[in-house]
Amino acid sequence: MSDRINHRAFTERLMSAEQAAAFIKPGMTVAMSGFTGAGYPKAVPGELAKLIAAEHDAGRKFKINVLTGASTAPELDGVLAKAEGMNLRLPYMSDPELRRRINDGEMEYMDIHLSHVAQHAWFGFYGKIDLAIVEVAGITADGELIPSTSVGNNKTWLEMADHVILEVNKQQSAALEGMHDLYYGTALPPHRTPIQLTTPRDRIGQKYLDIDARKVVAVVETDAPDRLSPFAPVDETSERIADHLLGFLDYEIRQGRLNEKLLPLQSGVGNIANAVLEGLSRGGYKGLTAYTEVIQDGMLELIKDGTIDFASATSFSLSTDGVQEFNTNIDRYRDRILLRPQEISNHPEIIRRLGCIALNGMIEADIYGNVNSTNVLGSKVMNGIGGSGDFARNGYLSVFMSPSTAKGGKISGIVPFASHVDHTEHDTMILITEQGLADLRGHSPKQRAELIINNCAHPDYKALLQDYFDRACRESYGKHTPHLLGEALSWHQRFEQTGDMRPAG
């Protein structure tokens, strides 16, 4: 037997990725592992793309619906998009080729809260799941699955799919065994019970994924790394955003609303998020916890230096250097990291109970605090809402961060009215740009507008925003949340027409 496949029932189904891909037929709904470039199947999707391309060349239609945990990598999303093999994709993506085809209207994309995916699948909203392709780090002698570098929706896919293809990736560290907490206590309404998780470090499930061996039609051995992009060095803008946040946290401690351990942190993916994490170390914090979606390079560093004592997530999202650090020093991290299904990592009940501090990026915010996380100019999707809504709607604090401008100053991060709203003003407590921080708690819409314009807007746009707001206060149909409907989206229209939100001259 293979050193990673220790059960005879699975060794008997070993085959090539090409042979495994042949089990996938046109029109199927195929659920795949993967979350932020970690733990996705590395071999079968590529062979499936070749099969689809060959069928298209022969004049036969071949498209499938693809469900995952979150974004994957070019070896999955990219190759299937290029082969024109997807009819529908959900719930989150970041691949450039896939993004282009979605925005060109060549395929359908469903952007939903990550905490909703598993339960909506169980509700039957996506129809039958025909087949699941799931990467694992190994199979035990008892026929249990050792999860890989992400958990995502894998538990649900393995339970719901009619048939399963397993990719056993020996490049994933064998020491991952035991670092997962798989909770099997969820149920459909009206049979749900409270989830007994009261601290980020609580174990409420088991270490392995269950699998009905009779479902498994193929086992494919792989030896390939996760496709994880390096993060850019922390720049001055990100540092200033981080400094504003750290100043705010220090103020909250002085006011007695937080203590020096803060509350469990949730951090979105990206350079600003890593700058914030780096800032926490500079700020002298120790013994913090994280209840989040992904473990990034910055979080490994905080665990290493004692800033973070424990982190719960559903996936890793590490650079190449981060992977090397983790694998080399995995014994340091084994007792300080747990990976859970995303329906647990993003569960509103748990987020509310723990009182998470939600730290997420945005594309733009308007002067009242409505936040757009997903669509440029209201219609061109970037990636998706991810888990930001799960945490913003339920956390103790919801913080959104972004540079005040983009495209060399041609786009303002603060606009009269958001061109697409993912998080309403009711879910936004703190807005931060490199210009400053607006604490919106306890303020009416007009008070919020003054804070956002004064504290967060770039100087090139501040007077324009103030002029719009002043005129709206005089001329708006109603004066509670003043807007000039004919002008509210004029900045976006101007950029579409001229390439610059600023008026000519």
Residue type, 234: V
Q: What is the DSSP string of 355-413?
A: T-EEEEE-SEEETT--EESSEETTTEE-S--TTHHHHHTTSSEEEEE--SEEGGGTEES
Enter the tokens of residue 331: 């014994």
Catalytic residue among 135, 144, 278, 293: 293
154 vs 49, 146, 164, 436, CA distance in Å? 22, 11, 11, 41
For residue 171, the 8-state DSSP code is T
Closest to 262 measured CA to CA, from 290, 229, 281, 235? 290
Strands (E), 199-287: 216-222, 265-267
Q: Is the peptide bond before 91 cis (omega within 30 degrees of 0)?
A: yes
135 among known catalytic residues: no
- Cβ 219 vs Cβ 10: under 8 Å: yes
Q: What is the DSSP string of 324-350?
A: HHHHHTHHHHTTTEEE--HHHHT-HHH
* 128, burial (CB in 10 Å: exposed 0-12, middle 13-18, buried 19+): exposed
Type and span of the H or E element at 468: helix 459-475
Q: Which residues are catalytic?
A: 293
